[in-house]
Amino acid sequence: MSDTTQNGPVLAADGTPLKRSLARALRMQKMRALMLIAPLLLFVVITFIAPIADMLFRSVENKIVATTLPNTVVALQDWDATGDAPPAEPVYESLYYDMFVAAEAKEHTKLGSRLNYEQTGLSSLFRSSGRRLDDAGEAQIDALEDLNPAWEDPAFWYALMDAGSGAADDDLLAAKRKQMTELTDIDHGVDIGFAPRADISQLLPKTADAYTLFALFTAVEDEDVVAEEEPWEAVKVALVQDLQEGADVSSYTGPGAAELAAAQTALAELPAMNFKEVFLDIDKDWGSVDNWSTIQTYSPRYTSGYFLNAIDMQKGPDGPEARPENQQIYMMLFKRTLFMSLVITGSCILLGYPVAWILANLPMRTANLLMILVLLPFWTSLLVRTSAWKVMLQQQGVINDVLVWLGLVADDARLVMINNQFGTIVAMTHILLPFMILPMYSVMQTIPPSYLRAAKSLGANNWTAFWRVYFPQSVPGIGAGSILVFILSIGYYITPEIVGGTTGTFISNRIAYHISSSLNWGLAAALGAILLAVVLLLYYAYDKIVGIDNVKLGG
Amino acid sequence: MKLTKILLASTSLTLAAGLVQAQEMANDMTLVSWGGAYQSSQQNAYVAPYLEANPDVTAVWDESSAEAVAKLRAMNEAGNITWDLVDVVASDAIRLCDEGLAMEYDPDELLAPGDDGTPASDDFGDLIVSDCFIPQIVYSTTFGYRTDMVGDTPPTKICDVFDLETYPGKRSLEKRPINNMEWALLCDGVAKDEVYDVLGTPEGQERALAKLDTIKDEVIWWSAGADTPQLLADGEIVMGSTYNGRLFSVIEEQDQPVAMLWDAQVFDLDGWIIPAGLPEDRLARVKDFVRFATDTQRLADQAKYISYGPARASSAPLVGEHAELGIKMAPHMPTDPENAKNTFLYNYEFWADYRDDIDAKFQAWLAK
């Protein structure tokens, strides 16, 4: 189609090209329609799509490593995980300062649980190390405090570190505010009654760094006054480090200058801080290459790790690799879920079609009565119906008892019909049957009985009349019912959990486990996302093959 | 003696009540527990007496302990904690504490000293397995068997569970690696104090699964505590693992032909945690309630209604008779010396670390 003629574009009455004029009119109409449905759209987006998107987002989100150990992650970047040497001292130093704050904020155990999903043992490593960091550098700190009790005096420390009316190091404060806000999810942008002195942060960078973190924590989390609290051990360790590394305190003349100079002289005789030793003393597992490689692999803020895990793979130092065979489970469960959902859908069609046909062809009064029978189980609790199947199918259950009584089955060879795939299929077919019958019924009701009579009067036998005339018209009902049943069953988990045993459970059972028991929500989200993608893919395929226009939920 | 004790308790209670009136305290509590016989033992032993002493207060039960960890996390993320006190098993308490979802507390400050004056931290002793966990009871996971299905030689050893020749038929085990892996190793010849060392290695895990493999076809896996008692009552299984209180109820209260196997039963703990981030007034009320509900007499009272051992050492001598059946409760307690001849201590630290790893292997093995 072209909107130009040989004489140029066709023009509307006001001289604009007709195409543009038409487009504008249509756009106006569309906008108006959109405005009308806007409240509903907003409602759906806010209450339905946003939470699902948020949940699925967890499958790639992984910022906890970078927010809990911000400096360690940076220091660890250049470490070679394929070698067999643990990282060097600077990494342990960053780890000490990061971990100290995290332990004070009680965030380190969260990271331990997170990393334990990838590497066994990290949970207790983080939990036990957090508590024991207070003892690091004890000798040096004691020496410092023995030298001058001022080092235990909150007011002295505050006078030394605070900018007062002088120049403040605003960049440092801003950076630490950001670090603490990310770590604790609490806003640290408030006034804390402290700003680091610019000259001190030049002279004693580590101390200023640690004290600023301490000040933020004291003011925001503990809601105390910074000047009245004694700094925690990490600040003193930082001072020891700064002084031992040869900070030039002779040029400094502010408050505490004399004490600093004295401390530097005294500390020169003590051994330097060795953080690697500190950590290896706490737990030798801090020297394990595997542990460090896990931390390094999972340090980016976004990870494909959960998705890899969901398809039985894992992140190795050289990229994705298959999990050990004895840990592979999810692909098998996905396949089983799809297969069993198909079987359940198939058996629902077989059982539901005749029922729907009878319902549609009986007189109204009887049909309504029968309809109540179809709907009755619908109004009974799902758990009750599932448990009822347990009573029916178990080895000492009703069916087995009847079979034994009839002599069809020997008493010592009772049939195993539950806690396996068979049990799940039977129970779920029963539970989902109404979802198949109802759309079929409403479609069949619209097929005029005269068509069948016409077919027969033209010479068709019963079967031909049904197969060539009636059945094709009822297909949209089958389609709608199948989609409903299939999509419902693919996400089922209560029934498989109760009657499925080990061979009849679905992928949803693992999702439920990771949501409620192992708290590995990232993996649960990844599994859920894959399940959603599979359903959408099948829906797309169905649309291409059968055509979604052929699906009817009612007349 | 008893009278003075009650008098003392009630005076201190009124005193405490008078003292705390000064503080702002919320008057509604939402308590979370497991439902069933266990929850009613709590209701009878300390919730009802507390409400009687504080007529303004109302308490609502929420039977969500099984999903407590996930629900608390969701509440925390939503920033709206609706629970005031949550009953969880110790391993969940550790997890909640790690996740920052439970409040850390100081035992000697929050909890009452024992009636003999022992500070709470000593009275509960090692049972305070986490900084957030307030122990209430000691329970054990053990086996029950049908007396009419085992012939003249009832099982006496844990390894009889793995003996399909002498005891043919189905058995039920919990659908998780915890406990099952330990029992499998014990019966595969590993010494009791080496079980966790062996289980910490991939070979040890394979070994445990191989042992479980020998009975896999005969196992019904349960996930709800009520499953095994039901299966036993129906005669679906010969023997099955469950909590000893559930078995007590099947044997003594429902009079079923079932007996208990006291061998290598796994000791475990159940108790309260206070959710992190409660508002001041609700926290004050909960603290007041917890102090009352975990004192020596209250914990001993709970044992009248259910056969779980009180977590306080000072409560043990006070354990009396069943409130309705009138039978002595001490012989049914997992802590009774006669029953505790060969017990197995659950290692929380180990499972906190290995749970994810071993569970993946266990589930993959199950699905095979």
> What is the amino acid identity at position A21?
S
Interchain contact, A123 vs B352, CB within 8 Å: yes
Query: Is 70 exceeded by the pLDDT of residue B5?
Result: no
Interchain contact, A510 vs B357, CB within 8 Å: no
Interchain contact, A502 vs B99, CB within 8 Å: no
Contacts of B95 in chain A (CB under 8 A): 113, 519
Interchain contact, B99 vs A127, CB within 8 Å: no
pLDDT interval class at B317 (50, 70, 90): confident
Residue of A nearest to B206 (CA): A326
**Alpha carbon of A167 to those of A154, A158, A203, A243, B21: distances in Å?**
21, 15, 14, 22, 51
Distance from the B83 Cα atom to the nearest Cα atom in chain A, whole angstroms: 17
Interchain contact, B98 vs A517, CB within 8 Å: no
Tokens linked to A267: 């500390």
B1 part of contact set with chain A, CB < 8 Å: no
Tokens linked to A543: 């649309």
Tokens linked to B75: 């509440």
Tokens linked to A546: 């059968």
Of B196, B201, B168, whose CA–CA distance to B182 is shortest?
A: B196
Q: Which one of B67, B98, B206 has the shortest CB-CB distance to A127?
A: B98
Residue B302 in any domain: the answer is yes
Other Cβ atoms closer than 10 A to A35: 9
Rounded CA gap, B82 and B105, in Å?
20
Buried b / exposed e over A3-32, threshold 16 CB at 10 Å, is eeeeeeeeeeeeeeeeeebeeeeeeeeeee
For residues B328 and B341, state if they share a domain: no
Rounded CA gap, B132 and B117, in Å?
23
For residues B348 and B199, state if they share a domain: yes
Residues 6+ apart with CB under 8 A from B52: none
Interchain contact, B349 vs A329, CB within 8 Å: no
Mark out the alpha helices in A152-197 (DSSP H runs): 154-161, 170-184
Rounded CA gap, A436 and B86, in Å?
42
Interchain contact, B234 vs A396, CB within 8 Å: yes
Residue of B nearest to A519 (CA): B70
For residues B324 and B217, state if they share a domain: no
Rounded CA gap, A140 and B185, in Å?
48
Residue B139 in any domain: the answer is no
ipTM: 0.86
**Alpha carbon of B170 to those of A419, A554, B182: distances in Å?**
12, 48, 20
Q: Computed from CA positions of residues A249, A251, A257, A258, in that sequence, does the dihedral angle turn out positive or negative?
A: positive
Other Cβ atoms closer than 10 A to A406: 8
Query: Is 60 exceeded by the pLDDT of residue B10?
Result: no
Of B70, B72, B50, whose CA–CA distance to B59 is shortest?
A: B50
Q: Are A502 and B220 in contact (CB under 8 A)?
A: no
Residue B137 in any domain: the answer is no
DSSP3 helix / strand / coil % (chain A, rounded to 5): 70, 5, 25
Q: Which one of A107, A327, A394 has the shortest CB-CB distance to B360?
A: A327
Residue numbers of B between 346 and 365 with CB closer than 8 Å to A: 349, 352-357, 359-361, 363-365
Rounded CA gap, A360 and A29, in Å?
42
- Residue B347 maps to which CATH number? 3.40.190.10
Main-chain dihedrals φ then ψ at residue B105, nearest 5 degrees:
-140, 165
- The DSSP H or E segment spanning A147 is helix A138-147
Residue B357 in any domain: the answer is yes
Interchain contact, A396 vs B235, CB within 8 Å: yes
For residues B183 and B107, state if they share a domain: no
Of B64, B9, B55, B1, whose CA–CA distance to B32 is shortest?
A: B64
Task: Look at the block and give the residue holding tokens 């179809």.
Answer: A374
Least confident of B18-27, B137-146, B312-321: B18-27
Neighbouring C-alpha atoms within 13 Å toward the C-beta of A437? 24
Q: Are A396 and A390 in contact (CB under 8 A)?
A: no
Of B94, B75, B155, whose CA–CA distance to B353 is shortest?
A: B94
For residues B225 and B346, state if they share a domain: yes
Contacts of B220 in chain A (CB under 8 A): 419, 501
B67 part of contact set with chain A, CB < 8 Å: yes
Task: Look at the block and give the residue holding tokens 């448990």.
Answer: A387
Interchain contact, A419 vs B221, CB within 8 Å: yes
Size of interface A-B (CB pairs under 8 A): 81
Q: Hey, of B363, B365, B366, B368, which one would you mutate to test binding to chain A, going by the most A CBs within 10 A of its CB? A: B363
Residue numbers of B between 159 and 198 with CB closer than 8 Å to A: 170, 175
Q: Which one of B223, B353, B364 has the shortest CB-CB distance to A329?
A: B364
Contacts of A395 in chain B (CB under 8 A): 170, 236
Main-chain dihedrals φ then ψ at residue B30, nearest 5 degrees:
-110, 115
For residues B60 and B196, state if they share a domain: no
For residues B286 and B152, state if they share a domain: no
Interchain contact, B367 vs A333, CB within 8 Å: yes
Rounded CA gap, A195 and A208, in Å?
10
Distance from the B296 Cα atom to the nearest Cα atom in chain A, whole angstroms: 31
Interchain contact, A107 vs B100, CB within 8 Å: yes
User: What three-state secondary structure class fits A360?
Assistant: helix
Task: Look at the block and give the residue holding tokens 């330097």.
Answer: A272
For residues B346 and B228, state if they share a domain: yes
Residue of A nearest to B276 (CA): A106
Q: Are A317 and A293 in contact (CB under 8 A)?
A: yes
Query: Is 50 exceeded by the pLDDT of residue B17?
Result: no
Residue B43 in any domain: the answer is yes
A497 part of contact set with chain B, CB < 8 Å: yes
Tokens linked to B205: 């895990």
Interchain contact, A519 vs B73, CB within 8 Å: yes
Contacts of A493 in chain B (CB under 8 A): none
Distance from the B360 Cα atom to the nearest Cα atom in chain A, whole angstroms: 6
For residues B53 and B156, state if they share a domain: no
Residue B58 in any domain: the answer is yes
Residue spans of chain A under pLDDT 50: 1-4
The total domain count for chain B is 2
Main-chain dihedrals φ then ψ at residue B190, nearest 5 degrees:
-85, 135
Domains and CATH numbers, chain A: 11-57 (no CATH), 67-134+275-297 (no CATH), 137-267 (no CATH), 330-550 (1.10.3720.10)
Of B295, B303, B318, B275, whose CA–CA distance to B50 is shortest?
A: B295
Tokens linked to A402: 């009847």
Which range marks the domain in which residue B42 is found?
A: 2-132+274-332
Q: How close are the terminal C-alpha atoms of chain A, in Å?
A: 37
> What is the amino acid identity at position B116?
D
pLDDT interval class at B146 (50, 70, 90): very high
For residues B214 and B109, state if they share a domain: no
For residues B231 and B298, state if they share a domain: no
What is the per-residue pLDDT across B185-196, written as a single tens digit (0 to 9) for each? 999 999 999 999
pLDDT interval class at B23 (50, 70, 90): low
Q: Are A308 and A315 in contact (CB under 8 A)?
A: yes
Distance from the A327 Cα atom to the nearest Cα atom in chain B, whole angstroms: 5
Rounded CA gap, B97 and B79, in Å?
17
**Alpha carbon of A256 to those of A149, A161, A225, A475: distances in Å?**
13, 9, 21, 89
Residues in chain B: 368
Distance from the B65 Cα atom to the nearest Cα atom in chain A, whole angstroms: 11
Distance from the B358 Cα atom to the nearest Cα atom in chain A, whole angstroms: 9
Of A309, A503, A340, A421, whose CA–CA distance to B368 is shortest?
A: A503
Q: CA A450, A456, A460, A463: dihedral to nearest 10 degrees?
A: 70
Contacts of A103 in chain B (CB under 8 A): none
User: What three-state secondary structure class fits A153?
Assistant: coil
Tokens linked to A123: 């949970």
Q: How close are the terminal C-alpha atoms of chain B, in Å?
A: 62
For residues B347 and B254, state if they share a domain: yes
Distance from the B221 Cα atom to the nearest Cα atom in chain A, whole angstroms: 6
Q: What pLDDT score does A3 carry?
A: 47
Q: What pLDDT score does A428 carry?
A: 95
Contacts of A332 in chain B (CB under 8 A): 367
Long-range contacts of A81-84 (CB under 8 A, 24+ apart): A81/A289, A81/A292, A81/A293, A81/A296, A81/A297, A81/A317, A82/A317, A82/A318, A83/A289, A84/A289
Main-chain dihedrals φ then ψ at residue A314, nearest 5 degrees:
-150, 160
**Alpha carbon of A216 to those of A43, A134, A198, A473, B344: distances in Å?**
40, 19, 17, 72, 47
Q: What pLDDT score does B51 carry?
A: 96
Residue B141 in any domain: the answer is no
Mark out the alpha helices in chain B (DSSP H runs): 2-21, 36-42, 48-53, 68-78, 90-98, 107-110, 120-124, 180-187, 195-199, 202-213, 227-234, 244-248, 280-293, 296-302, 348-367
Residue B138 in any domain: the answer is no
Residue numbers of A between 316 and 345 with CB closer than 8 Å to B: 326-329, 332-333
Residues in chain A: 555
Distance from the B175 Cα atom to the nearest Cα atom in chain A, whole angstroms: 9
What is the per-residue pLDDT across B248-287, written as a single tens digit (0 to 9) for each? 989 988 899 999 999 999 999 999 999 999 999 999 999 9
Interchain contact, B69 vs A124, CB within 8 Å: no
Contacts of B363 in chain A (CB under 8 A): 329, 510
Interchain contact, A326 vs B365, CB within 8 Å: yes
User: What three-state secondary structure class fits A248?
Assistant: coil
Interchain contact, A109 vs B356, CB within 8 Å: no
Tokens linked to A126: 């983080």
Contacts of B73 in chain A (CB under 8 A): 519
What is the per-residue pLDDT across B38-61, written as a single tens digit (0 to 9) for each? 999 999 999 999 999 999 999 999
Rounded CA gap, A324 and A513, in Å?
21
Of A162, A168, A166, A159, whose CA–CA distance to A258 is shortest?
A: A159
Q: Are B95 and B42 in contact (CB under 8 A)?
A: no
Conformational region of residue A187, where left means phi above 0, alpha means psi within -120 to 50, and beta covers everything else: beta
